Amino acid sequence: MRQTSPKLLSAQTSVFLGTLASLTCGVSGANAALLVGNTEGNNVVIFDERTGKFGGEFIATGAGGLTSPDDLTYGPDGNLYVSSGNETSGAILKFDGKTGDFLGRFDQGGRLLRPYGNAFGPDGNLYVSSFRSDEILRFDGITGQFLDVFAFGTGVANGLNGPNDLLFDQDGNLYVTTQGSVADGKGGIDFRFESQVLRYNIFADTPEPAVFVPQPIPSPDSFNFVSFLGLEFGADGDLFVSDFANDIRRYDLLTGDLVDTLSTNYTGTVPSNNFMGGLTFDPNGILYTVGFDFTQGNQGAILRFDGETGDPLPAAGESGPVFVSTTPNLKRPIGITYSPVVVPEPALTLGLLAMGAVFAGSKRGNFR
């Protein structure tokens, strides 16, 4: 196995480890949680990370105007920042990281149209992908004040065409998944280009996108398209990328070469009846993702894999990678994050887990 380079780990991770260490003193005997955003339920729900047990709502339906929640990101302050909005509007909503209480709208200024990915950079600012305007906006990480449009699409190949998830390494490299679509200015999108992973260096004088991962051959379980969505770093520095159309692909972060492909076809049909959402790791190196079955009213499921070997880790009685089977508690889920919020048994009293966590954000795809 390749050795982990500290420079290849997510910039968010090192910030949060220290934050959580100071916040979680004295907490013990509780299970960690997975938080999942329901885009058709307008809420964020809890699942026990060990047992898969449903724990109810973490963020209530429509709280603070929550609409189609997408990416879920824990900030350096321990609060949860959620991408919210639709084709004509958008916002980053801030919630208490322990209780889920609404703390207010974070972004101040700028214009977000259907925001998807959001991530805090090593410069301390919050970067947000505005999907329907083909832009990445930058906000002050403390005040939320709009700073500038960091990057924008120009309707050409290998550009910022339909930006989805965002992920930083500590060298200031920003990784972005693109759907390959271009906003048509009338509320719709045209699918003109390839779905790719782009990379920007935010500290460059004039940051320009470079194609880090070109569009691969579509999954044999897909409807013959690719729509890159979620991003996460594994423990050895590999980059994991989810495809809305099916599969998780693992790339060497030094070369961009494909290392492995993890099948996410949990409905067992070809083409698959399920589409896929974002990614998150827990501190034990277990990889989680969410999907939804469009033949079952977009009800969702949670999958998990060994993050080192790629082997599926089904729950008892389940098959393949299914950890939480299709459930009406998940309504077209996209965003997922491992959380420092805990769910003590048997009550739903919320606290903080006394360990560091790797945080993720979350995301999208073609028929969205």
List the pLDDT tens digit at each of the 368 positions of the chain: 333 333 344 444 444 444 443 443 333 334 789 999 999 999 999 999 999 999 999 999 999 999 999 999 999 999 999 999 998 899 999 999 989 999 999 999 999 999 999 999 999 999 999 999 999 999 999 999 999 999 999 999 999 999 999 999 989 999 999 999 998 767 788 999 999 999 999 999 999 999 999 999 999 999 999 999 999 999 999 999 999 999 999 999 999 999 999 999 999 999 999 999 999 999 999 999 999 999 999 999 999 999 999 999 999 999 999 999 999 999 999 999 999 764 534 434 333 333 333 333 333 333 45
Residue 35 falls inside a structural domain: yes
Is 346 in contact with 81 (CB distance < 8 Å)?
A: no
For position 368, what pLDDT does the model report?
53
Residue 267 falls inside a structural domain: yes
CA nearest to 83, candidates 366, 363, 368? 363
Give one DSSP letter per residue of 191-205, joined into a string.
E-S--EEEEEETTSS
CA atoms in the 13 A half-sphere facing the CB of 64? 25
Is 332 in contact with 39 (CB distance < 8 Å)?
A: yes
CA nearest to 180, candidates 240, 230, 134? 134
Is 69 in contact with 82 (CB distance < 8 Å)?
A: yes
Please give the tally of structural domains in the chain.
Answer: 1
Residue 233 falls inside a structural domain: yes
> Is the peptide bond between 271 and the residue preceding it cis, with omega within 30 degrees of 0?
yes
Q: For residue 43, how far is the Cα from the chain centroid?
A: 16
Residue 109 falls inside a structural domain: yes
For position 106, what pLDDT does the model report?
98
**Which domain, by its residues, includes 125?**
6-352
Percent helix, percent strand, percent coil in the chain, to nearest 5 = 5, 45, 50
Is 19 in contact with 349 (CB distance < 8 Å)?
A: no
CATH number of the domain where residue 60 is located: 2.120.10.30
Residue 362 falls inside a structural domain: no
For position 17, what pLDDT does the model report?
40
For position 170, what pLDDT does the model report?
86
SS3 of residue 89 by DSSP? strand
For position 343, what pLDDT does the model report?
53
pTM of structure: 0.87
Residue 338 falls inside a structural domain: yes
For position 357, what pLDDT does the model report?
37
Residue 189 falls inside a structural domain: yes
